[in-house]
Amino acid sequence: MLSNSQIKHINSLKLKKYRDEFQEFIAEGSTLVADLINSRLEIRGVYALNQWITANTDLLERNKIAVFEAGPAEMQRISALSSPGPVLAIVKIPSDAGIVLEETDADTLEQIVPGIYNELSLMLEGISDPGNFGTILRIADWFGIRNVFCSENCVEVYNPKVVQASMGSVARVKVFYTDTGALLSKLAGRIPVYGTFMEGESIYSSTLKNKGIIIIGSETRGISYTVAGYVSNRLFIPSYGSLDYGKAESLNAAVAAAIVIAEFRRPSAI
Amino acid sequence: MLSNSQIKHINSLKLKKYRDEFQEFIAEGSTLVADLINSRLEIRGVYALNQWITANTDLLERNKIAVFEAGPAEMQRISALSSPGPVLAIVKIPSDAGIVLEETDADTLEQIVPGIYNELSLMLEGISDPGNFGTILRIADWFGIRNVFCSENCVEVYNPKVVQASMGSVARVKVFYTDTGALLSKLAGRIPVYGTFMEGESIYSSTLKNKGIIIIGSETRGISYTVAGYVSNRLFIPSYGSLDYGKAESLNAAVAAAIVIAEFRRPSAI
């Protein structure tokens, strides 16, 4: 049985203000929580139904996790989901989150963001939908992209819906919120800057290198003028054929990210 | 100003029971409603803020649309969204929706589903998340796939969240709910049946034809055993590299659909 102060604390973490204050976020669901327990992140506590605890004793003991048993009604009171799962975890926000890149010069960047000059990274502009944002982190994780740079008007990475959609990728991919234009001004000329637009060169005929930055803009506004000025390679995803009565005007931002990143990671010799 | 009976009718269409009874569904937002007005579907009425009506007079008059002016508070009362847009439309469900394919023999199928034997079609099993389902319809539309076969445990296509995520593709792509195993038993041997799994042959080394059926299973349960038995080509999407501390175990169902379909539609000679 949970105390009122536990319930109140967990519910406070649904708001950014309290996530910032306590440096904690929540994650729910059996697969996601198990993934986070096995990750580099620190679990502050697990709140779960008796059956879940019994089924996961080894995992919990091996990782020395503090466990609190809750009933179905209590899970309902703490969950951020419409259908609560059998488990919710409080997770500590890692201490290396929230680094301010604006104040870093081009040479020091590599120490703070290993791989920035010789790997593929992602930049997101104005991705405000938490489901899309979390899905994009999961795609980056799947395709081995470890650094994601976000404009400050992107949704916060520890929003419960982002965490949920990322399915644990939030523990592996590093997310930096930064002035995207200022960052690109330091990178332009050193690495390719790929921007995804509604027109440009087809991703299928462009030379795609496995280093540089891929920029995904918001569905409604696209990539901002400031950021577009730094793009060295304008890419677009060609549509195919046409149904009798018109066709989709665009793709969802996460879907576009997936298709573009998959093309970068496609083995060139098959 | 809207009448109480109008408000009540619109709100009833948020439930499947009343969508079935009235053969109508709702769609919201400026881009989506304009797309539907220009589509083959019949618009039963448009409910909008004065500014939207003024800005879209030509579109409305050219298509002879019945328009009802509403204030912001009324839009709030009829909207299914947390932040209502400036316009909501009531749309007639097309008369060719809901055809039962189970009772159709293999030769008659081509008359009911033109293209089934010589184009690429999609089959969805157990896709219950409305956002994923709508996003997949938008992907199919973008890549020129006109027929989508769904197991009966997929979400209903006229659910407001599906309509919203499809961004108008619901007007162009044809969705059939059917016994997927029974349908495949008629198609197997005539066309390739591609199934997407967590293992199999890489999509990058498989021979992908521009005809046949691509099956996407649910994220939690994958493709059912019954349906898997009809698969002639087992496909999977390889991940790339590995971050230091593990990686994503899987991709979101809509994202997997996007990557696989894009690979089928990729120009082979670049």
pLDDT digits (tens, 9 = 90+) for A74-99: 999 999 998 899 999 999 999 887 77
Question: Of the candidates B138, B205, B251, which has its C-beta nearest A270's C-beta?
Answer: B205
Binary contact (B267, A204; C-beta < 8 A): yes
Task: Determine the pLDDT at residue B246.
Answer: 62
Residues A106, A111, A113, A118, CA torsion sign: positive
Q: In what order do the strands lie in the sheet with B174-177?
A: B174-177, B147-150, B120-124, B212-216, B193-202, B233-236
With a cut of 50, list the residues of chain B below it in pLDDT. Answer: 269-270
Burial of A206 (0-12, 13-18, 19+ CB in 10 A): middle
Binary contact (B240, A139; C-beta < 8 A): no
Question: Of the candidates B39, B204, B266, which has its C-beta nearest A246's C-beta?
Answer: B39
For B161-196, the pLDDT digits (tens) are 999 999 999 999 999 999 999 999 999 899 999 999
Question: Of the candidates A144, A239, A240, which has its C-beta nearest B241's C-beta?
Answer: A144
pLDDT bin (cut points 50, 70, 90) of residue A242 is low
Task: Determine the pLDDT at residue A245.
Answer: 53
Distance from the B144 Cα atom to the nearest Cα atom in chain A, whole angstroms: 5
> Which residues have CB under 8 Å from B108's CB, separation 6+?
none
Residue of B31, B120, B145, B243 to mutate for A, most A C-beta atoms under 10 A: B243
Binary contact (A204, B169; C-beta < 8 A): no
Which residues share a beta bridge with B212?
A: B120
The CATH architecture one would assign to domain B106-264 is 3-Layer(aba) Sandwich (3.40)
Q: Was domain A4-92 assigned CATH 3.90.1150.10?
A: no
Domain extents in chain A? 4-92, 106-264
Binary contact (A165, B252; C-beta < 8 A): yes
Residues of A in contact with B258 (CB under 8 A): 251, 255, 258-259
Question: Of the candidates B239, B255, B262, which has its C-beta nearest A135's C-beta?
Answer: B255
Taking alpha carbons only, the member of B136, B33, B218, B155 closest to residue A254 is B136
Binary contact (A146, B171; C-beta < 8 A): no
Structure-block tokens of residue A132: 């899309």
Task: Determine the pLDDT at residue A99.
Answer: 76
Residues of A in contact with B240 (CB under 8 A): 142-144, 265
Binary contact (A262, B165; C-beta < 8 A): no
Task: Determine the pLDDT at residue A270.
Answer: 44
C-alpha A176/C-alpha A153 separation (Å) is 12
Distance between start and end Cα atoms, chain B: 57
Residues of A in contact with B204 (CB under 8 A): 266-267, 270
C-alpha B226/C-alpha B47 separation (Å) is 45
ipTM for the whole complex: 0.92
Equal CATH topology for A4-92 and A106-264? no
Residue bearing tokens 């994009």: A136
Does A267 score more than 50 pLDDT? yes
pTM recorded for the entire structure: 0.94
Does A117 score more than 80 pLDDT? yes
